[in-house]
Every structure is written in C-alpha cells, then in structure tokens.
C-alpha cells in the first residue's frame, strides 16, 4: 500500500511524533511511505528521524519555498521540490493523511 503524509505543522505541536510512528509502522509492514514537509513542517527536514525514514526507503520531500522562507538549509537527505509533487502524492497514494 502507498501511504502519503503531509506534515505542515510546527515541531512544537508534536505532530511529528505521530507521523514518525505511522511511518515506522507502515514501513515495517512493507508499505511505501511518501512524506511531504510543507510550511512549518519544513522545519522537520533537519531532524534525524526524517533522515532515518529516507535511509529505510521512504520518499521524503520538502517544499523548497517553505524552506527558503524559513532559511532552512538542505541537509541533502530529502528532495526539495514544489507543490506539484504534493499533488502527485495525493493522486498516486492509496491513503493520504494530512497534519495541518
């Protein structure tokens, strides 16, 4: 199963903990994970758990515009891109979750 996840909330809201749990569980079950970090969620791009998801096979994308506006550097683990990719994730996944 392909699972898409949008994470657009600030790390202080702690939605990242839930996203991490969902992604870990799904990957362990053999599902494909597509995570898109948008708006305040772009702040997660520097966190180790996001890099670990990439290392385990998840596809993780970061909104380049959101990162640029927040002066967040590219650590090289995720793909910086635009909202067209988010549209493709929504259309191409069996399930889509939004943390907004």
* Contact present, 80 and 74 (Cβ < 8 Å): yes
**What's this model's pTM, rounded to 2 decimal places?**
0.96
State the Cα–Cα distance between residues 85 and 82, nearest whole angstrom: 6
- What the block records as the tokens of 94 is 């069996």
pLDDT at 75 over 90: no
What crossing angle do the helices spanning 48-55 and 15-28 adopt, rounded to 10°? 20
* Contact present, 95 and 3 (Cβ < 8 Å): yes
Domains of the chain: 2-99 (3.40.1260.10)
Buried b (16+ CB within 10 A) or exposed e, 48-64: eebbebbeeebbbbbbb
**pLDDT tier at 74, thresholds 50, 70, 90:** confident
Residue-wise pLDDT for 52-72, tens only, equals 999 999 999 999 999 999 999
Residue-wise pLDDT for 24-34, tens only, equals 999 999 999 99
């Amino acid at each position: 199963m392909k699972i898409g996840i949008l994470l657009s909330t600030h790390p202080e809201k702690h939605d990242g903990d839930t996203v991490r749990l969902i992604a870990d569980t799904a990957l362990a079950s053999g599902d494909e994970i597509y995570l898109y970090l948008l708006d305040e969620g772009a702040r997660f791009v520097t966190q180790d758990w996001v890099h670990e998801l990439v290392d385990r096979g998840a596809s993780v994308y970061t909104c380049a515009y959101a990162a640029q506006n927040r002066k967040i550097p590219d650590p090289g683990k995720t793909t910086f891109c635009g909202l067209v990719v988010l549209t493709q994730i929504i259309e191409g996944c069996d399930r889509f979750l939004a943390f907004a």
